[in-house]
A and B are shown apart, each in its own frame.
Chain A
Amino acid sequence: MSTESVPDWPPAVAGGTGSPDESYLLRLYVTGVTPNSVRAIANLKRICEEHLQGRYQLEVIDIYQQPELATHEQVIAAPTLIKELPLPLRRIIGDLSNSERVLVGLNLRRRD
């Protein structure tokens, strides 16, 4: 399990365009070090730093290592980012290269 937790949890600073008080619990399910996985991790970190700085917790889970979590969390596509909190739960699939859609998925931007 490779988990990266951002140390300053709970968030101290409000930012981004979503509801400023909400803190985010994100889990990113990747498959080893495939190009999609690597890209997804990099993209997600960038987006979080830009929009959710200080108010998010991110777990990166390698389903090769923990396949039972893939079953348990209903992961089909890889990579899959699950926004556990705030509700509603959302599944954002793909390498997260389309930042606009990631933000829509994270409820940080309205769907046009």
Chain B
Amino acid sequence: MNPEKPLLPKSPTGIQGLDEITGGGLPTGRPTLVCGDAGCGKTLLAMEFLVRGATRFNEPGVFMAFEETGAELAQNVASLGFDLDALIAAGRLVVDYVYIERSEIEETGEFDLEGLFVRLGYAIDSIGARRVVLDTVETLFAGLPNPLILRAELRRLFRWLKDRGVTAIITGERGAGSLTRQGLEEYVSDCVIVLDHRVKDLISTRRLRVVKYRGSTHGTNEYPFVIDSDGIAVLPITSLGLGHSASTERVSSGIPRLDAMLAGAGFYRGSSILVSGTAGTGKTSLAGHFAAAACGRGERVLFFAFEESPSQIVRNLGSVGIDLAPWVAKGLLRFLAARPTVAGLELHLTTMHKAILEFRPHIVIIDPLNSFISAGNEIEVKAMLLRLLDFLKMSQITGFFTKLTAGGSALEHTDAAISSLIDSWLVLLAIESGGERNRAFSILKSRGMAHSNQTREFLLTAQGVELRDVYVGPGGVLTGSARLTQEAQDAAAQLARRHEIAHGQRELEHRRATLEAQIASLRNEFAIQEADTLAAVERHQAREAQLDQERADMAASRKADAPGTDGGQS
């Protein structure tokens, strides 16, 4: 022990969660009072304290039973996997049943409870016990006369237990207006734990609260706990802070186009992803893609289904091209399906908790999240989800949740107001127009990444989910057939324009051809004319020459001297 800061020595109970609440266990060498109504789990808690002590912490224990015989106790806790007979045979546990029958007893004067002390001391010494349980010591008040003596003796008993240095649990029935019927809390004041068992809307919830822990800090809240096949499990998850580390690793959503929208890489590992949407918008299909992608990477996925059975999910996702069956067979994908109303929130949470701890998945899918609303009120649901999300984040498990939005309510509305807990929120919505429903998809938020702000049309094809650009134009955002119609119209108009241009070009070509033909014909005409003209000129010149010749010949024949000519020289 650190001398500067002396800490109260504590004995771990070995009960899941209780040691976290109490900061290490019950005060060593001191008695602890565990009180609560009938059937709230006092005996079980006490017994688990002893069994864990004997099996895990090498601290043998004595169970002094005032209400049940050893055989009954052994039977009752056998269902939790505790083998009392073996522990007793191994000298790790003593069960001493204290039989009191009021009708057999006659009080004749002063007495004390030394017999009880002797028995307890003998039992402790016989196995070197470090732990003692008295269950339920108040039975003495019903079985023995003279409460004054009993009170004094009980006070002495608790003192004696302290002197013996055993860590003790004393159970007590809850009384009206006080923690226990006989006011045991007056005597046992080191540590008081109250168990409670409440039924609300037909669903019961067990709760545990550390009312008092002298000399130690402790969680003061009411913590739900469950009793299942492994004993008691308390859920102290709200005691955890926001200390989880944030991973920068990204995990693919399984849909390339969606990854592209999420800054090109998908979600952050360890983040919480919510897909909300009205009925039939494809939430589970998105979850299926995510699961299949994770399994494809060799990661383990735990799928909590609260509306469909595993085989139904596998079949339905198979119809959109997501084949999960091989992953289930490989052991990478595990389904846990239950109706939300089958148990209280806490039992669900604990079941999930345990399944997660056991399977150690990389990804947890809950489909749908808000079915819990039917199993509890909003505050409780939020508290529960907060604890669950905290737990997932602490474990660096990516959480993928779907949430059914009631028709008519705001898309951003979450029943349990869990939006603040969510890192990435995808919204699916049905757009009804032109006599059909189409799905649209957008990212409402995604912390820590530059995500796309675009709405996409969300198509469920036989090959899985497909994200398409929606038609955004003067006519608004169009999806489905309207988008196809618009696209067809656009295509037709384009075709028409193309035709027109081609036509114009052809006409021009034609005109050019016509013109060139005309030019050619004119040229021909001209050439003919030219030729004619030249011929005429030639003829004319030839004629001239002939005339000249004739004239000369005439003159020669006439021997006439021509003034114009040098007659003597020709």
Taking beta carbons and an 8 Å cutoff, which residues of A are in contact with B? 29, 31, 34, 36, 39-40, 43, 63-64, 67-68, 70-71, 74-81, 88-98, 101-102, 104-105
Does B325 interact with chain A (Cβ within 8 Å)? no
Contact between B114 and A94, CB atoms less than 8 A apart: no
Contact between A93 and B107, CB atoms less than 8 A apart: yes
Contact between A36 and B115, CB atoms less than 8 A apart: no
Collect the chain A residues with CB atoms within 8 Å of residue B57's CB: none
Taken residue by residue from 96 to 125, chain B's Cβ proximity to chain A (1 for < 8 Å, 0 otherwise) reads as 101110001111111111111011011100
Most buried by B among A63, A70, A90, A101: A70
Q: Please, could you name 20 A-B residue pairs with CB atoms under 8 Å apart, sorted by A?
A: A39-B109, A40-B109, A63-B114, A64-B118, A67-B119, A70-B115, A74-B100, A75-B115, A77-B114, A77-B116, A80-B115, A89-B104, A90-B104, A92-B105, A92-B107, A94-B109, A94-B111, A95-B110, A96-B108, A98-B107
**A76-B113, A76-B144, A77-B144 known; A93 vs B118 contact (CB < 8 Å):** no
Contact between A98 and B112, CB atoms less than 8 A apart: no
Contact between A78 and B115, CB atoms less than 8 A apart: yes
| A89, B113: Cα distance in complex, Å | 20
Does B140 interact with chain A (Cβ within 8 Å)? yes
Taking beta carbons and an 8 Å cutoff, which residues of B are in contact with A? 96, 98-100, 104-116, 118-119, 121-123, 140, 144
Contact between B109 and A95, CB atoms less than 8 A apart: yes
Instruction: Look across to chain B and name the residue whose beta carbon is closest to the beta carbon of A99.
Output: B108
- Give min CB distance, B101 to chain A, whole Å: 8
- Give min CB distance, B125 to chain A, whole Å: 8
- Give min CB distance, A101 to chain B, whole Å: 5
Collect the chain B residues with CB atoms within 8 Å of residue A34's CB: 114
| A98, B108: Cα distance in complex, Å | 5
Contact between A91 and B108, CB atoms less than 8 A apart: no
Collect the chain B residues with CB atoms within 8 Å of residue A75's CB: 115, 118-119
Most buried by A among B104, B108, B111, B112: B108
Collect the chain B residues with CB atoms within 8 Å of residue A101's CB: 106-108
Collect the chain A residues with CB atoms within 8 Å of residue B104's CB: 88-91
**A93-B105, A93-B106, A102-B108 known; A76 vs B122 contact (CB < 8 Å):** no
Contact between A31 and B106, CB atoms less than 8 A apart: no
Instruction: Look across to chain A and name the residue whose beta carbon is closest to the beta carbon of B99.
Output: A74
Contact between A92 and B114, CB atoms less than 8 A apart: no
- Give min CB distance, A85 to chain B, whole Å: 14
Contact between A36 and B112, CB atoms less than 8 A apart: yes
Residue from the list B96, B108, B112 in contact with A71, Cβ < 8 A:
B96
A-B contact count (CB 8 A): 105
Contact between A92 and B119, CB atoms less than 8 A apart: no
Collect the chain A residues with CB atoms within 8 Å of residue B96's CB: 71
| A70, B117: Cα distance in complex, Å | 10
Instruction: Look across to chain A and name the residue whose beta carbon is closest to the beta carbon of B106.
Output: A105
8 pairs of A and B residues whose beta carbons are closest in the complex = A105-B106, A67-B122, A94-B109, A78-B114, A97-B109, A75-B115, A95-B109, A94-B108
Contact between A70 and B118, CB atoms less than 8 A apart: yes
Instruction: Look across to chain B and name the residue whose beta carbon is closest to the beta carbon of A75.
Output: B115
- Give min CB distance, B406 to chain A, whole Å: 62
| A39, B100: Cα distance in complex, Å | 24
**A63-B118, A67-B119, A75-B119 known; A91 vs B105 contact (CB < 8 Å):** yes
| A104, B551: Cα distance in complex, Å | 200
| A88, B101: Cα distance in complex, Å | 13
| A85, B345: Cα distance in complex, Å | 58
Collect the chain A residues with CB atoms within 8 Å of residue B111's CB: 36, 77-80, 93-95
With A93-B111, A96-B108 already in contact, 19 other A-B pairs whose C-beta atoms are closer than 8 Å: A34-B114, A36-B109, A67-B118, A68-B122, A70-B115, A71-B122, A74-B98, A75-B119, A76-B119, A76-B140, A77-B114, A81-B108, A90-B106, A91-B105, A92-B105, A93-B144, A94-B108, A94-B110, A97-B110
| A64, B114: Cα distance in complex, Å | 9
Collect the chain A residues with CB atoms within 8 Å of residue B144's CB: 76-77, 93
Contact between B140 and A67, CB atoms less than 8 A apart: no
Collect the chain A residues with CB atoms within 8 Å of residue B108's CB: 81, 92-98, 101-102, 105
| A40, B113: Cα distance in complex, Å | 15
Contact between A98 and B122, CB atoms less than 8 A apart: no
Collect the chain A residues with CB atoms within 8 Å of residue B118's CB: 31, 63-64, 67, 70, 75, 78
- Give min CB distance, A35 to chain B, whole Å: 8
Contact between A98 and B109, CB atoms less than 8 A apart: yes
Collect the chain A residues with CB atoms within 8 Å of residue B110's CB: 36, 39, 94-95, 97
Contact between A78 and B112, CB atoms less than 8 A apart: yes
- Give min CB distance, A107 to chain B, whole Å: 10
Residue from the list B98, B106, B109, B121 in contact with A76, Cβ < 8 A:
B98
Contact between A76 and B107, CB atoms less than 8 A apart: no
Collect the chain B residues with CB atoms within 8 Å of residue A71's CB: 96, 119, 122-123
Collect the chain A residues with CB atoms within 8 Å of residue B140's CB: 76
Contact between A70 and B119, CB atoms less than 8 A apart: yes
| A92, B119: Cα distance in complex, Å | 18
| A63, B120: Cα distance in complex, Å | 12
- Give min CB distance, A78 to chain B, whole Å: 4
Instruction: Look across to chain A and name the residue whose beta carbon is closest to the beta carbon of B94.
Output: A71
Most buried by B among A68, A93, A102: A93
| A88, B105: Cα distance in complex, Å | 11
Instruction: Look across to chain B and name the residue whose beta carbon is closest to the beta carbon of A29.
Output: B115
- Give min CB distance, B99 to chain A, whole Å: 4
Contact between B100 and A76, CB atoms less than 8 A apart: yes
Collect the chain B residues with CB atoms within 8 Å of residue A31's CB: 112, 114-115, 118
| A36, B110: Cα distance in complex, Å | 7
| A93, B149: Cα distance in complex, Å | 12
Collect the chain B residues with CB atoms within 8 Å of residue A97's CB: 108-110
Collect the chain A residues with CB atoms within 8 Å of residue B119's CB: 67, 70-71, 75-76
Collect the chain B residues with CB atoms within 8 Å of residue A43's CB: 109
